[in-house]
Amino acid sequence: MLEIVFSAGILALIMLPVFMTFSTGNRNIQLTDAEFRAHTAAIELMEQIISLPFGQIKSGEYESDVIVDGGQFADGPVLFKFSPAEDLWRSMKVEDIRRDGKTLFKKVTVTIKYVAAPGSDRIREFFMKTLVANENL
């Protein structure tokens, strides 16, 4: 009897990593899905900013309560436009890069905070940065 119990225990220990591999695989796929959605949301925000004429890209810090669908970008007139996204918060920072008194570039940094997996309380962050050149110089 003792031998049987021991052998079953050893078998269970051997099988444990196999089952863990499956559940880890599932978790990773869920995380990749959340990462993809965060990445898509970041590009959606970044693209609409860099699509604007250089003069319309106003420097400043924009928090998630301002960056909402239909919200004004830098007190208007341009409005933000977003597809619906749950468990996701956007923020953005636009900085001037100046030389000899002229603004050569705008540095745009988009940050997306998102829930790692459905039902999870772990929050992750995703950053995206780009430079917009001043085409008016």
**Cα pseudo-dihedral 47, 48, 53, 58, rounded to 10:** -110
* Residue 118 interacting with other proteins (CB under 8 A): no
Nearer to other proteins among residue 15 and residue 100 (C-beta): 15
Least distance (Å) between residue 124 CB and other proteins: 17
Least distance (Å) between residue 73 CB and other proteins: 9
Nearer to other proteins among residue 1 and residue 137 (C-beta): 1
Nearer to other proteins among residue 66 and residue 100 (C-beta): 66
Q: What burial letters (b/e) apply to 29-45, b meaning 16+ CB within 10 Å?
A: eeeeebeebbeebbebb
